[in-house]
Structure 1
Amino acid sequence: MNPGGTATMKPLKLLTFYGSYRSDRAGIRLARYAVDRFAARGHDSRLVDAQAVGLPMLDRMHKEYAPGTAPPAMAELAGQIRDADGFVFVVGEYNWGVQPGLKNLTDHFLEEWFWRPAAIISYSAGRLAGARAGLVWHGTLSEMGMVVISSTVTVGGITGALDAAGKPMGDGGAALEATFPRFADDLEWWANAARSQRAVQAPPY
């Protein structure tokens, strides 16, 4: 049985996306934390680091390339997105807005995102914990065909909540540990529901 009291289902394929390009980026700690926690819950949990993928500034979307001609990194990621059951977006806030690296990566794809749930984890160095970026991403991901779950995780004072390896520490880390299980339960419920529905009925478009 899982914490929600329902029968355990087969592992989900979950992708966690992170998009800072800064040399001293701290949010990668939170992305690694999320990947590790979902893996510990028995899922195929993987990190997609926009900086490591290295897509160019958007010129053509993946679907605008002739079959077999898209850049290899783009084609590989398109396949990973299509195969996934759900997505986690770990988002920082730049001047009340979103990080351009992550936005650029997501804009290379569209239909690949459809009919799967997405969850948002926001962070910042300050006490507002990136909440304004999370709000922007909620509408953006919905417009891109994802169902954005109502549960969120927000982490302020990121460098005081997680160490360089992504391990919780201090009061911020304790708060993260307390809130993450319900967040994970929510994403798992929606990902399982969407996967089950796709198995019995093809999406309408």
Structure 2
Amino acid sequence: MADKILVFYGSYRADRMGIRLADYLVARLAARGAQPELIDAKAIGLPMLDRMYKEYPKGTAPQPLEELAGKIRAADGFVFVTGEYNWGPQPGLKNLTDHFLEEWFWRPAAIASYSAGRFSGVRSGTIWHSILSEMGMVVVSSTLAVGPISQTLDAAGEPTGPAGDALERSFGRFADDLAWWTEAARAQRARQAPPF
């Protein structure tokens, strides 16, 4: 059974470099036999959080919110691609995730961070770990940290130079870790309903 993996990306900037990493992850996960789908916060365009999905009476949530809730519930796992803004998470990605809560429960998540500089977004990735845990996901220990992004992936999301080679070497462990937890969580949900 192919893992259904949602890859979330949250930059709203005009010259988005992190989309390269999101595209890379979608392509590499698909090459491994998964069924990844890119969820681009900018393309979905949810408003700043006023009312969570669960706060709408059944059948009255805006269509983009309803569709995304269904995709999240149907997914086996998640990858969050996060840039670093002033040592913290991107507001677009945080806003998108905050529209939901129970939909995330009992599935694994992985974090891939990036930046234009040498710190590769790791400070944002570290913050995301605690956020995702609070939202009911099991965060896998393997991470990807990409930087400088422009020297690691070209505009088509293909690895370039020594930094791209390092990313390729790291991806296998990252994907294996996520796949192990995805299979384990799916098997456990089939065996026993979650406790809440």
Which of 57, 60, 68 is residue 77 of structure 1 equivalent to?
68
Q: Give the fraction of aligned pairs with identical amino acids, expressed as a percent.
A: 70
| 1:193 pairs with 2:155 | no
Q: Distance in 2 between matches of 1:37 and 1:101?
A: 24
- The one-letter code sitting in structure 2 at the alignment partner of 1:42 is G
Could you tell me the TM-score, scaled by structure 1's length? 0.95
| 1:22 pairs with 2:20 | no
Q: Match of 1:171? A: 162
Q: Distance in 2 between matches of 1:45 and 1:98?
A: 22
Post-superposition CA distance 1:71-113 (Å, at most 9, x none): 1000000000000000000000000111000000000000000
Q: Match of 1:5? A: none
Is there any run of 5+ residues in structure 1 with no aligned partner, and where? 1-9
Q: Distance in 2 between matches of 1:153 and 1:72?
A: 33
Displacement of 1:70: 0.3
Post-superposition CA distance 1:22-67 (Å, at most 9, x none): 0001000000000110000111110000000110000000000011
Q: Match of 2:45? A: 54
| 1:137 pairs with 2:128 | yes
SS in 1 for 2:130: helix
Q: Distance in 2 between matches of 1:142 and 1:11?
A: 24
How many pairs were matched up? 196
Q: Match of 1:66? A: 57
- The one-letter code sitting in structure 1 at the alignment partner of 2:167 is L
Is there any run of 5+ residues in structure 2 with no aligned partner, and where? none
Displacement of 1:160: 1.0
- The one-letter code sitting in structure 2 at the alignment partner of 1:44 is Q
- The one-letter code sitting in structure 2 at the alignment partner of 1:172 is A
- The one-letter code sitting in structure 2 at the alignment partner of 1:33 is Y
